[in-house]
Amino acid sequence: MNGIPRSTADLPSAAPGDGPSGQPQAVGQPGGAGGHTRGLNRWISRGRPADLGPVAVLASIAAIWTFFQAQDGAFLSSRNLSDLVLQLAVTCILALGVVLVLTAGEIDLSLGSVTGMCGVLLGVLLTEHGWPAWAAIIAALVLGLAAGLVQGLVTVLVGVPSFLVTLGGFLTFFGVQLALVGSAGQISVSDPSVIAIANDYVGKTQSWIAVTVIAVFLAALQVARRRAWRREGLPAPAWRSVTAAALPVAGLAVVVGYLNQYLGVPYLLVILLALIAGLGWVTQRSVYGRHLYAVGGNAEAARRAGIRVGAIRVSVLAASGLLAALAGVVSASRLYAVDSNLGGGTLLLEAIAAAVIGGTSLFGGRGRIYHALLGAVVIESVENGLDLLGQSDATKNIATGIILVLAVCIDAVNRRRQGRIG
């Protein structure tokens, strides 16, 4: 079964970092309060600042929400939080691609242009050529995948830094976007299947059934893992790991209950959670994920260890292109139209900011998929709150810029502290 160790070599290590085995472990510690206390003391004594990153981001989200709720009592209403989910979807999807690329030690500056190009292609195929929704969506996704794949191949085979390749891609794909839009300037999207992606909701009963199924599945998985560890003669994980696994389910239940007070759970939230769960499993539980972190941490060492560094780099750039195409589809669905401005403005910068604010390092080798969601919640919460207060776009950009600089500073400080503790 996936995620079940077959030997002691599969046990997670306690090495510093945010890779697939970057969480502190206390393998072989005696049970009871004394064992837990000694493990906690050793963890604290090692000074693991990166592990506290999500806690700091969650504390920031709580502070932001408290502030805006005090300023406007409608901020934490179920209606506004439902709108917040829709508002952060495109940024979060792009930030997922940014996390993958940054973790591998690369950068992709073309994501905004790929989003716009693929969204416009979707609108053209639907409106001007009469394609069915499913075919137009697949064509848009394939175009994004191809754009990322070509950039990855140029980066690896020619040896040009991804910064320069994707900068050229940014200009090229934006030109393609303008050519597709043509003199029309704007293309309306009215296909009901496409519109439903960002404007429809899961039924309240169905959402609770889904939460129950997820809870039962995770509980069964935890029981199976513990039995597998014992069957191999290995000490079973501490029960605190089971508690940690239950926290996301409890949080999901709270979110579903709150959103059901309005129209229900948006389909976009289901898409986001499915993407995060799938990509999280790939990066944290698969061989590919271990290779990804190895390449981002030290590409030369990874190459000497037999890892196909070029293939990893091509794959992350291709994946980011595919995610950008999905963001284009979602954008077209939300706006009911596509135009030459789709994917432009500060969208790319917000996606990069979301990844970094969530805890992904700009220097490679450290990042988690859920960092994209945390960072997107921070950025969009600030923008949403400022919108409620009637603030200008200038104020929102200033606030986002300040938050990004603070996140980068914290990342730099954490890396220096990790270097000192080895």
pLDDT tens for 13-46 read 333 445 554 443 433 444 444 444 444 344 333 3
Question: Which of 54-63, 121-130, 352-361 has the highest average model confidence (pLDDT)?
Answer: 121-130
Hey, what's the torsion of the CAs at 327, 328, 334, 335, to 10 degrees? 150
**What's the predicted TM-score (pTM) here?**
0.83
List phi, psi (to 5°) of 241: -70, -35
Residue with tokens 């039995």: 227
Q: Work out the number of other CB atoms within 10 angstroms of the CB of residue 246.
A: 14
Contact 148, 316 (CB under 8 A): no
Which of 68, 30, 98 is CA-nearest to residue 407? 98
Assigned fold of 53-200+266-421:
ABC transporter involved in vitamin B12 uptake, BtuC (1.10.3470)
Residue 119 CA: distances (Å) to CA of 95, 105, 137, 180, 403: 17, 28, 9, 10, 29
Which secondary structure element, helix H or strand E, spans residue 187, and what is its range? strand 186-188
- Give the model's pLDDT for residue 27: 38
Rounded CA-CA distance 234/206 in Å is: 39
Residue 45 CA: distances (Å) to CA of 25, 34, 42: 14, 16, 5
pLDDT band of residue 219 (cuts 50, 70, 90) is: confident
Rounded CA-CA distance 214/252 in Å is: 10
* Secondary structure (3-state) at 319: helix
The amino acid present at 63, given as its one-letter code, is: A
Q: Tell me, what DSSP letter sits at residue 154?
A: I
Residue with tokens 């990004």: 404
Which secondary structure element, helix H or strand E, spans residue 90, and what is its range? helix 78-103
- DSSP assignments along 219-260, one per residue: HHHHHHHHHHHHHTT-PPPPHHHHHHHHHHHHHHHHHHHHHT
DSSP β-bridge partners for residue 168: none
Contact 88, 378 (CB under 8 A): no
- What is the percentage of the chain residues whose pLDDT exceeds 70? 83
Rounded CA-CA distance 270/237 in Å is: 30
Higher pLDDT, 65 or 249: 65
List phi, psi (to 5°) of 110: -95, 0
| Per-residue pLDDT at 228 exceeds 90 | no
Contact 18, 368 (CB under 8 A): yes
- Give the model's pLDDT for residue 239: 64
